[in-house]
Structure 1
Amino acid sequence: MIVVEDVTRTYRMGKVEVRALKGVSFEIAKGEFVGITGASGSGKSTLLHIMGLLDRPTSGRVLIDGRDVQKLSDRQQTLFRLNRLGYVFQDYALIPELTALENVYVTSLARGVPEAEYTRRGAEVLRQVGLGDRINHRQSELSGGEQQRVAIARALVNNPSILLADEPCANLDSETSKSILDLFARVNEELDQTIVMVSHEKWHERYFCRIIDLKDGLIESMHACNPREKPAG
């Protein structure tokens, strides 16, 4: 499903070149729950952003379902993101003025989905993440864990091929983090949802099917975990 071939990313900061990625290659199959791990500055988020078409590599390429997505125009990439990818960020990225339901279906509006369909689907996915009784609450009325669940529902509402999560538990306590990761594991297992998640927490690794560990912009190791194994409480 995802093929990353010799991807590099170099940034210029004044006269200084920063090589965030130095040639990274791997594949991710449909239905995998893959963790991208490594120390701060190892290139984790840069790699995720490139896979999610939020950034472009300096060299190399990314193929999704056999398609070289870096060759798409800006408009084509926007449509690809809307229709094929779902994003969960550590800061939730909700719109404070909107209700939970409105935050979830805002991407469906951008896709031109009919109102009856996007309201029905938005409410359905909020129920799936345990927020069926909070659909009319705004961000200020929701806990951090509830806000992240809204963000997950928004990422899932369009049935994306791939769910990309950039340290989604970074601002949550350990108990809430576990509930979010349990939710990811359930979505991965029940819906065969492909998930790629950036993490720096060692205990998160028991949720992943496979781990790609980065160091200084290179893959230090890749290893399989126990796929579909339910994490112990």
Structure 2
Amino acid sequence: MIVAEEVTRVYRMGKVEVRALKGVSFTIADGEFVGITGASGSGKSTLLHILGLLDRPTSGRVLINGRNVQKLSDRQQTLFRLNRLGYVFQDYALIPELTAIENVIVTSLARGVSEKEYLKRGAEVLREVGLGDRINHRQSELSGGEQQRVAIARAIVNKPSILLADEPCANLDSETSKSILDLFKQLNEDLNQTIVMVSHEKWHERYFCRIIDLKDGLINSMRECDAGR
């Protein structure tokens, strides 16, 4: 479970103060697929980065499974991210020189998993995302949708408690976007995977259990979607 309590984030750009988040509070239950929506500049990505321990709030706090993650040291936050969180970015963030399976197992290597175990698990998750026949292909040999599937496989290889996705379909056409969202929905339903996804597309809403809509750094609305009923 994720609990955000009066989270604010203020950036300083010279003498200018930018209040990206102005005090947002909400709860995300285990197994929910939640969309964070809003216009550009509303605070969506800032909020996701705070939930994913990629940034720290100026005030307020975030609890994940009852743990106040803001009180963790930098090293503790790194280990928490490595073991408990998975990330999918809009630009895929793959290492071009590595094959699909090598990109997937990078985080397993950081966790000290045995070579036999991480190679087995890496191949398993690539099959799960429909890339069982592309294991040894490099980024230049993969389509945009296939690259994003590799990124998803990398995000779930360590069986994270929470999967965070920042506009994962932004660089994809509508048909490929649908296949990626279908995959997210499958992970959510089959594995009870908690997913928090930033989106700016109205049609994505049919995949979400619930939407947290932001406006000017505040929660504009929270509502359930058809997928959550």
**Could you report, residue by residue, the CA deviation over 1:183-229 in whole angstroms, capped at 9, with x for unpaired residues?**
00000000000000000000000000000000000000000113467
> Residues 210 and 228 of structure 2 are in contact (CA less than 8 Å); yes or no, is this contact kept in structure 1?
no
Aligned equivalent of 1:208: 208
Aligned equivalent of 2:9: 9
How many angstroms apart in 1 are the aligned matches of 2:70 and 2:102?
Answer: 31
Aligned equivalent of 2:222: 222
**Could you report, residue by residue, the CA deviation over 1:150-191 in whole angstroms, capped at 9, with x for unpaired residues?**
000000000000000000000000000000000000000000
**Could you report, residue by residue, the CA deviation over 1:24-73 in whole angstroms, capped at 9, with x for unpaired residues?**
00000000000000000000000000000000000000000000000000
How many angstroms apart in 1 are the aligned matches of 2:156 and 2:46?
Answer: 22
Aligned equivalent of 1:133: 133
Matched, 1:167 2:164: no
Aligned equivalent of 1:34: 34
Long gaps (5+) in structure 2: none
- Quickly say closer, same or farther: Cα 1:228–1:7, change in 2 above 3 A: closer
Q: What TM-score do you get using the length of structure 1 for normalisation?
A: 0.97
1:1-233 correspondence runs (5 A): 1-227=1-227
Long gaps (5+) in structure 1: none
> Residues 189 and 228 of structure 1 are in contact (CA less than 8 Å); yes or no, is this contact kept in structure 2?
no
How many angstroms apart in 2 are the aligned matches of 1:122 and 1:15?
Answer: 48
What residue identity is the alignment partner of 1:9?
R
Share of identical aligned residues, percent?
A: 87
What residue identity is the alignment partner of 1:25?
S
What residue identity is the alignment partner of 2:9?
R
SS at match of 1:40: coil
Please state how far the C-alpha of 1:105 moved relative to its aligned partner. Answer: 0.4
Q: What TM-score do you get using the length of structure 2 for normalisation?
A: 0.99
What residue identity is the alignment partner of 1:99?
T
SS at match of 1:60: strand
How many angstroms apart in 2 are the aligned matches of 1:122 and 1:228?
Answer: 31
> Residues 62 and 70 of structure 2 are in contact (CA less than 8 Å); yes or no, is this contact kept in structure 1?
yes
> Residues 5 and 24 of structure 2 are in contact (CA less than 8 Å); yes or no, is this contact kept in structure 1?
yes
Q: CA RMSD in A?
A: 0.7
